[in-house]
Amino acid sequence: MTEENEIAPNLNSNVVISQSVAILIDGNNIERSIHNETNDPSTMLNFDSLIPRLLMNRGLNRLMYFREGKHISSKLQERLHNYYHGSVRPCHKSADIPLSIFAVQVAYKVDTIIIMSGDSDYVELVNHLKSQGVRVEIAAVANTTSKIMIEDADYFHEITKDDWFSLPNKKTSKRRKN
């Protein structure tokens, strides 16, 4: 056996990743970021391609979409529930506090928390979670993400144009005036 094989004898064996991940989404922040990039308010995240890319073969433990306001798309709620057993949480004001509280509550149940927001309001949360031994990753649009968030996170997933789509414009029918 060579010295190299003695140091890393199982280099060619497959690695099984059994991490549990929670994805916490600040819906208003991500939507605003995408709309700023596209100048199109009908642009939406493509969860079908984004979620698997974020997980990178790890297990999804929780997916929670926090959004300010009471008018949240029932189609979004249904899709997140049916495909990812996720849920949507309406927030009274911004998502910062509810998302942070939920992150602290779920931290002992997961290995990694992915915060989908570039908002620097989450810096203290990132540092707290890391001090608790949780890996913290940020997923956001680079142009609208605080540099300190990228620096403090364990990993940064850039959300790009490949991760969103624009809904077709609804054709408005003109009614005849009699």
Band of pLDDT at residue 3, cut at 50, 70 and 90: low
* Percent of the chain whose predicted confidence (pLDDT) is above 70: 87
Predicted local confidence at residue 127, as pLDDT: 97
174 band by pLDDT with thresholds 50, 70 and 90: low
**Residue 176 within any structural domain of the chain:** no
Quote the CA–CA distance of 141 and 27 in Å, as a whole number.
13
**Assigned domain for 55 exists:** yes
Model confidence band, residue 175 (pLDDT cutoffs 50, 70, 90): low
- Identify the pLDDT of residue 92: 83
Element (H, E) at 112: strand 112-116
C-beta separation of 61 from 76 below 8 A: no
Average pLDDT over residues 134-160: 97
In-domain check, residue 79? yes
Cβ-proximal residues to 124 (8 Å cutoff; 6+ apart), any chain: none
Give dist(CA 117, CA 33) in Å, integer: 9
What is the rounded distance in angstroms from the CA atom of residue 36 to the CA atom of residue 31? 9
Residue 169 maps to a domain: no
pLDDT of residue 101: 97
Question: Is residue 169 predicted with pLDDT exceeding 60?
Answer: yes
- Is residue 174 a part of any domain in this protein? no
pLDDT tens, position by position, 17-76: 789 999 999 999 999 999 999 999 889 899 999 999 999 989 999 999 999 876 778 888
Gap between the Cα atoms of 11 and 5, Å rounded: 8
| Structure confidence by residue, pLDDT tens digits, 94-120 | 899 999 999 999 999 999 999 999 999
Report yes or no on 89 lying in a domain.
yes
Q: Is 8 part of a structural domain of the chain?
A: no
pLDDT: is 50 or 11 the higher one? 50
CATH code: domain of residue 34: 3.40.50.1010
Query: What domain count does the chain have?
Result: 1
Mean pLDDT of the chain: 88
Structural domain boundaries, residue 92: 17-164
For residue 150, is it within any domain?
Answer: yes
